[in-house]
Amino acid sequence: MTKFRKLNRPTGHRMSMLRTMVSQLVKHERIETTVAKAKEVRRLADNMVQLGKEGTLCAARRAAAFVRGDDVIHKLFTELAYRYKDRAGGYTRLLRTRIRVGDAAPMAYIEFIDRENELRQSKPPTPVPQQRAPLDPWTRSQLMRQFAPPKAEKASESEN
């Protein structure tokens, strides 16, 4: 099993809390929590979306063993799997919001990207640079000579 932040909780409580938070994130598509918890939820939520994209019976059973509720599983394997079918990863976004009044804990929104009413628009995909044809060695050496800086002569040789 992978290592999680301890979040000052016993293991059973921590895993139960993270399972509930992932389920609520899938259900509501945005939740507000502390930054440390949001970073842990992000890892688990991205894994659940990956299982939804697989779409196999094994993936459905693995997701059902983690998230809570049949409606959450249905949403993972239909709506979210369709929405992120062309995306390789990075399904969630973490936006820091405020400092909580009671204990000064930094708070953050965690939300799925590419959805309605998102807090910040997704960045457009980076364009793929065009491939240039490789140059033959002679042409490459001529271009290197043309654009190379001139060599400076030593001052002692020019005085003699």
60 in any annotated domain: yes
pTM of the model: 0.71
Q: Is-contact 118 111, C-beta < 8 A?
A: yes
Strand ranges in 27-102 using DSSP code E only, listed in sequence order: 30-34, 92-99
In terms of C-beta distances under 8 Å and separation of at least 24 residues, what long-range contacts does 117-126 make, across chains too? Answer: 118/30, 118/93, 119/30, 119/93, 119/95, 120/93, 120/95
Q: 112 - beta bridge partners? A: 92
148 in any annotated domain: no
Domains: count for the chain: 1
CATH code, domain with 27: 3.90.1030.10
pLDDT digit string (tens) for the chain, length 160 residues: 567 778 888 888 988 999 999 999 999 999 999 999 999 999 999 999 999 998 899 999 999 999 988 999 999 999 998 988 888 888 899 999 999 998 999 999 999 988 777 677 776 666 777 777 777 888 888 888 887 777 766 665 555 5
Which domain range does residue 75 map to? 11-124
Q: Is-contact 67 22, C-beta < 8 A?
A: yes
Q: Quick one: pLDDT at residue 50?
A: 92
d(CA 19, CA 43): 12
Q: Is-contact 111 88, C-beta < 8 A?
A: no
